[in-house]
Amino acid sequence: MASPNAAPTRELTTASLWDPALIARYNLAGPRYTSYPTAAQFRDDVSETQWREAITASNEVSAPLSLYFHIPFCNTVCYYCACNKIVTANRQRASDYLRFLHREIELQAAAVNPERIVRQLHWGGGTPTYISDSEMQSLMTTIRQEFRLATDDEGEFSIEVHPGGMAPERIRQLRKLGFNRLSMGVQDFDPEVQQAVNRFNNVAEVAALVAEIRTSGFKSLSMDLIYGLPLQSEHSFARTLDQVIRLQPDRLSLFNYAHMPQLFKTQRQIDESQLPAAGVKLAILQQSIDRLLQEGYEYIGMDHFARPGDELALAQMQGTLHRNFQGYSTHKDCELLAFGVSAINALGNNHFQNFKDEPSYTAAITAGKLPLAKRITLSRDDIIRRAVINELICNFALDYQAIEEQFGIRFADYFSAELERLPALAADGLLALSAGGIAVLPAGRLLVRRICMEFDAYIDPSQLSGNRFSRII
Assess contact for 469 and 31: CB atoms under 8 A: yes
On the question of pLDDT at 468 being above 80, the answer is no
Amino acid at 231: L
Work out the pLDDT band at 7, boundaries 50, 70, 90: very low
Q: Residue 467 pLDDT > 70, yes or no?
A: no
Q: What angle do CA 34, 38, 44 make, to 5 degrees?
A: 130
Please tell me the predicted confidence (pLDDT) of residue 461: 60
pLDDT at 316 over 90: no
* pLDDT > 80? residue 379: yes
| Radius of gyration of the chain, Cα coordinates, nearest whole angstrom | 22
Per CATH, the architecture of 9-33+380-463 is what?
Orthogonal Bundle (1.10)
Q: Is the peptide bond before 37 cis (omega within 30 degrees of 0)?
A: yes
pLDDT of amino acid 77:
95
Residue 6 has pLDDT above 50, yes or no: no
Q: Who contacts 285 (Cβ-Cβ below 8 Å, separation ≥6)?
A: 227, 254, 256, 473
In angstroms, rounded to a whole number, what is the distance separating the alpha carbons of residues 468 and 473?
15
| Closest of 249, 164, 247 to residue 205, by C-alpha | 164
Rounded mean pLDDT of 269-295? Answer: 94
Taking the model in full, what pTM does it have? 0.93
Closest among 311, 67, 305, 56 to 178, alpha carbons compared: 67
Residue at 473: amino acid letter: I
Q: What is the mean pLDDT of the chain?
A: 93
Summarize the confidence of residues 306-327 as an average pLDDT. Answer: 87
pLDDT at 337: 97
pLDDT of residue 16: 78
For 24-66, what is each residue's pLDDT tens digit? 888 888 888 888 999 889 999 999 999 999 999 999 999 999 9
Closest to 193 measured CA to CA, from 254, 246, 239: 239
Q: Name the percent of the chain lying above pLDDT 70.
A: 96
- For residue 5, the model assigns a pLDDT of 46
Partners of 322 in the beta sheet?
A: 329
Q: Locate the domains of the chain by residue range.
A: 9-33+380-463, 39-337
Please write the tens of the pLDDT for every residue from 398-415.
999 999 999 999 999 999
Average pLDDT, integer, range 303-318: 90
Give the CATH H-level superfamily of domain 39-337: Aldolase class I (3.20.20.70)
Tens digit of each residue's pLDDT (9 = 90 or more) over 424-451: 999 999 999 999 999 999 999 999 999 9
**Rounded distance between C-alpha atoms, residue 407 and residue 385, angstroms:** 11
